[in-house]
Amino acid sequence: MAEAVVDREPTKVLEVENLKKHFPIKAGLLRRQVGQVRAVDGVSFHVEAGETLALVGESGCGKTTTGRLILRALSPTEGTILIRDGERVWPMHRLTAQELRSARRSAQMIFQDPFHSLSPRMTVIDIISEPLILNGVRSGSTRERRVRELMDVVGLPQQYLNRYPHAFSGGQRQRIGIARALALNPKLIVADEPVSALDVSIQAQILNLLQDLQSEFGLSYLFISHDLRVVAHISTRVAVMYVGHIVETGVTEDLFTRPLHPYTEALLSAIPEPDPHVDSEEIVLAGEVADPSHPPAGCIFHPRCAYAKKVCREEVPSLRRIEGRGESSRWVACHLADELTLRGAGLPAPQESEGG
Amino acid sequence: MTEKSAPTALSRAEISADVLLELKDLHTHFHTDDGLVRAVNGVDLTLRRGRTLGVVGESGCGKTILSRTVMRIVPEPPASISGHIFWHRQNGEIVDLATYPVKARQLREVRGKEISMIFQEPMSSFSPIHTIGNQIAEALLVHERVSKKEAQERTIEMIGMVGISQPDKRFHAYPFELSGGMRQRAMIAMALVCRPTLLIADEPTTALDVTVEAAILKLIKSLQAQLGMTVMIITHDLGVIAKMADDVAVMYLGKVVEQGPVEAIFDAPQHPYTRALLKSMPRLSNTGSRLEAIRGNVADPYTVLPGCAFFPRCGEGEQDRCTAAMPPLVEVGDDHLVRCVMREGVAHGRGSG
Ligand SMILES: Nc1ncnc2c1ncn2[C@@H]1O[C@H](COP(=O)(O)OP(=O)(O)OP(=O)(O)O)[C@@H](O)[C@H]1O
Ligand SMILES: Nc1ncnc2c1ncn2[C@@H]1O[C@H](COP(=O)(O)OP(=O)(O)OP(=O)(O)O)[C@@H](O)[C@H]1O
Ligand SMILES: [Mg+2]
Ligand SMILES: [Mg+2]
């Protein structure tokens, strides 16, 4: 039973331990399994109450899969997922379909792709009120009042109430998705690229909105994004993922100014500067993202790492703790973390190389 | 990009040799049960050969519909198109794409071959039941006289060029087997396999992480240089605009409110909306502060506001001047145009900023 779990960490809204998802690769007439995609391969992290943990990393590294596992849109191959809502702790990894319905009141998802997360046959009011119906809000007028309120909150004109999703632009559809996620006042929101389809001004509104909702209701976010400027702005801490593994975590400002993993360094160097006079020198990573069905031996990043040594090709580095600034601690999975001095990003550059 | 001469210094012939696409008073209106949606509402724009035009603007302002109108792939009805889309064809002919019926042979020849597009939503541009390789090769088979074998070879080469590993294996992959980023690359391969003159990229990198984004933007730039391609890039990311664009057009509610060389737009933005956009962008240098979102929401698309559509959200305007009539485009610098009555006086100082 859900309630039987011993509550060890009352401030943690989400705890993920050794989470794995291996997708079978099938081939041939009989669709026999010939291998597996290790999409998520043993990740552990947590989200504190009221904080925003950003999950960043290259396309295909397993961010969306991780998000979907947490809400049990997918079942994990291995690992534990605990979601805490007040007195309740939901062991998401082993809930039955029946229990999941209640658990989803505590955690909701905002999707990456606003074009496919909305059913084309449902109007805006149907879409936003669906979670209300599933959770037993029977009165139609109560639902409509709540839907109108939510539309206001996310900045959708109320006269769109009876429109279908196809008649909305990408940004408008994303607002519908956010309104729907907020309908049941969840504790945790897994937001998968929630603002990447939005132009900057709406993005600013939505980011401000997410921050307002967070301070008002003590919401926690797992914020999946590839936009590191947005991540720098919104997150308390950052976890960097590479091919199914977490390679580095840290408090946002510390991680941005002093990356410890060469992959983080490359990510930070590729942030496009909003200034046409700057020719940014991004580190273009050699080679390709490792194939999650045939991960390389040793450190999973070594084939693309400019600093790799013999040890990197032979031994898998474990995620280890390194002293952070002040109270905060850093975790990194790199054999060379103590010897390397890597280039950070952000905060006014110490030296201007060329005029601007 | 650094040396530019004023268009007045060129003869007519030189201007037209330089021009690839001219949009004149272009409108795309949707007739819906709830009313008329003026998605594109009087756009004048010129694209010059070999250059990159960046289009930015708020969600719903009509960027996607504008680009789809150029390709003539908006559904008609409910949409109706008026105005001109002068396209300078590879064979030297100038055609007005707005005048052809939807199923015209000329449109099919231009579309996918001379102009091709990378879409905002990669999943819907691939059919789920065919391999990506076959779908990319199909584009070649439709537009060029090539054998199946050659189409397959060129497809595999292209899949490799966009940075997908083991291209000969990935040829046989289905769209659902690829992550968002990989699908985006596959779509770029499909758009470029016919070597188009104009590539329209609608949010080509919004679903991608920065390292792949950097690689794909680099890829588009290098293919542009190799093939002498012209690019129209639609994005909400001003960082991408700064990196890619030579010229920028800022759209608001179906109209271009400001256009000009990228340096002018970033260094001396003139329209209050452009200024607000630049301010609302998250920057690494001030992560602690609250973002300056533009107040209010985009007006609903059914009602037509008198005069400037941005006025209700603008902090600068004056009721009488701004709502009297739609402001004309005024020139505030070399090739730098703005649709704002508050800047009409500034026009005299052109070239100084
Ligand atoms: N249903 C599935 N069957 C097989 N493989 C899958 C499936 N879903 C995802 N994968 C694979 O798992 C890996 C992780 O995919 P995921 O969508 O989680 O990546 P992501 O980090 O969200 O990428 P992006 O930034 O592109 O959205 C990829 O290699 C992907 O191809
Ligand atoms: N099929 C349609 N029927 C009616 N209105 C439509 C239709 N398609 C788009 N629209 C409307 O046209 C306007 C322009 O939409 P468009 O998709 O071009 O916006 P956009 O600038 O690309 O926005 P985003 O940045 O969110 O992608 C919007 O008001 C949208 O609601
Ligand atoms: Mg994803
Ligand atoms: Mg669009």
| Joined tokens for residue A347 | 């905060």
Residue at token pair 């839907």: A147
In this predicted structure, the answer to whether residue A351 has a pLDDT above a threshold of 50 is no
Sheet containing strand A220-224, strands side by side? A107-110, A188-192, A220-224, A52-57, A237-242, A245-251, A329-332, A320-323
Considering chain A, what percentage of its residues have pLDDT values greater than 70? 87
Rounded CA separation A305/B38 (Å): 51
Rounded CA separation B285/A346 (Å): 6
In this predicted structure, the answer to whether residue A117 has a pLDDT above a threshold of 80 is no
DSSP-derived 3-state class of residue A119 = coil
Rounded CA separation A337/B249 (Å): 45
Q: How far is B300 from chain A (nearest CA, A)?
A: 7
Considering chain B, what percentage of its residues have pLDDT values greater than 70? 88
Sign of CA dihedral A257, A301, B207, A67: negative
Least confident of A124-128, A271-275, B90-94, B187-191: A271-275
The finding on whether A63 has its CB within 6 A of some atom of ligand 1 is yes
Compute the average pLDDT of residues A118-130.
Answer: 89
In this predicted structure, the answer to whether residue A199 has a pLDDT above a threshold of 80 is no
Residue A69 is predicted with a pLDDT of: 96
| Joined tokens for residue B163 | 């940075």
Residue B137 is predicted with a pLDDT of: 93
Phi, psi torsion values for A19, nearest 5 degrees:
-75, 130
In this predicted structure, the answer to whether residue A75 has a pLDDT above a threshold of 80 is yes
| Joined tokens for residue A306 | 């400019």
Compute the average pLDDT of residues B5-10.
Answer: 41
In this predicted structure, the answer to whether residue B287 has a pLDDT above a threshold of 60 is yes
In this complex, the residue of B59, B182, B281 whose CB is nearest that of residue A60 is: B182
Residue A308 is predicted with a pLDDT of: 93
Least confident of A49-58, A270-279, B183-192, B258-267: A270-279
Compute the average pLDDT of residues A184-212.
Answer: 83
Q: What is the 3-state secondary structure (H, E, C) of chain B?
A: CCCCCCHHHCCHHHHHHHEEEEEEEEEEEEEECCEEEEEEEEEEEEEECCCEEEEEECCCCCHHHHHHHHHCCCCCCCEEEEEEEEEECCCCCEEEHHHCCCCCHHHHHHECCCEEEECCCHHHHCCCCCCHHHHHHHHHHHHCCCCHHHHHHHHHHHHHHCCCCCHHHHCCCCHHHCCHHHHHHHHHHHHHCCCCCEEEEECCCCCCCHHHHHHHHHHHHHHHHHHCCEEEEECCCHHHHHHHCCEEEEEECCEEEEEEEHHHHHHCCCCHHHHHHHHCCCCHHHCCCCCCCCCCCCCCCCCCCCCCCCHHHCCCCCHHHHHHCCCCCEEEECCEEECCHHHHHHHHHCCCC
| Joined tokens for residue A233 | 């702005």
The overall average pLDDT reported for chain A is 85
- Residue pLDDT, tens place only, A238-289: 999 999 999 999 999 899 999 999 999 999 988 887 778 777 667 777 666 6
Residue B14 is predicted with a pLDDT of: 47
Rounded CA separation A45/A55 (Å): 10
Q: How far is A55 from chain B (nearest CA, A)?
A: 11
Rg (CA), chain A: 21
In this predicted structure, the answer to whether residue B271 has a pLDDT above a threshold of 60 is yes
Q: What is the ipTM of this complex?
A: 0.71
Compute the average pLDDT of residues A139-163.
Answer: 89
B57/A60 Cβ within 8 A: no
Residue B9 is predicted with a pLDDT of: 41
The finding on whether B61 has its CB within 6 A of some atom of ligand 2 is yes
CA of A170 from ligand 4 middle (Å) equals 6
In this predicted structure, the answer to whether residue B5 has a pLDDT above a threshold of 70 is no
For residues A65 and A79, is the Cβ–Cβ distance under 8 A?
no
* pLDDT higher at B78 or A136: B78
Comparing CA positions, the residue from B61, B137, B204, B168 lying closest to residue A169 is: B61
Residue A29 is predicted with a pLDDT of: 72
In this predicted structure, the answer to whether residue B20 has a pLDDT above a threshold of 90 is yes
Question: Residue B102 class from Cβ within 10 Å (0-12 exposed, 13-18 middle, 19+ buried)?
Answer: exposed
Q: How far is B313 from chain A (nearest CA, A)?
A: 12
Residue A8 is predicted with a pLDDT of: 61
Proximal ligand: closest to the CA of B251: 2
- Residue pLDDT, tens place only, A310-347: 999 999 999 999 876 655 678 999 999 989 989 888 54
In this predicted structure, the answer to whether residue B254 has a pLDDT above a threshold of 80 is yes
Residue B3 is predicted with a pLDDT of: 42
Q: How confident is the model at residue B115 (pLDDT cuts 50, 70, 90)?
A: very high
DSSP letter at A36 equals E
B36 at the A interface (CB within 8 A)?
Answer: no
Which ligand 1 atom lies nearest to the CA of residue A40?
14
| Joined tokens for residue B40 | 């594109």
A200/B237 Cβ within 8 A: yes
Q: How confident is the model at residue A10 (pLDDT cuts 50, 70, 90)?
A: low
Query: Which residue type occupies A197?
Result: A
Per-domain boundaries in chain B: 271-350
B323 at the A interface (CB within 8 A)?
Answer: no
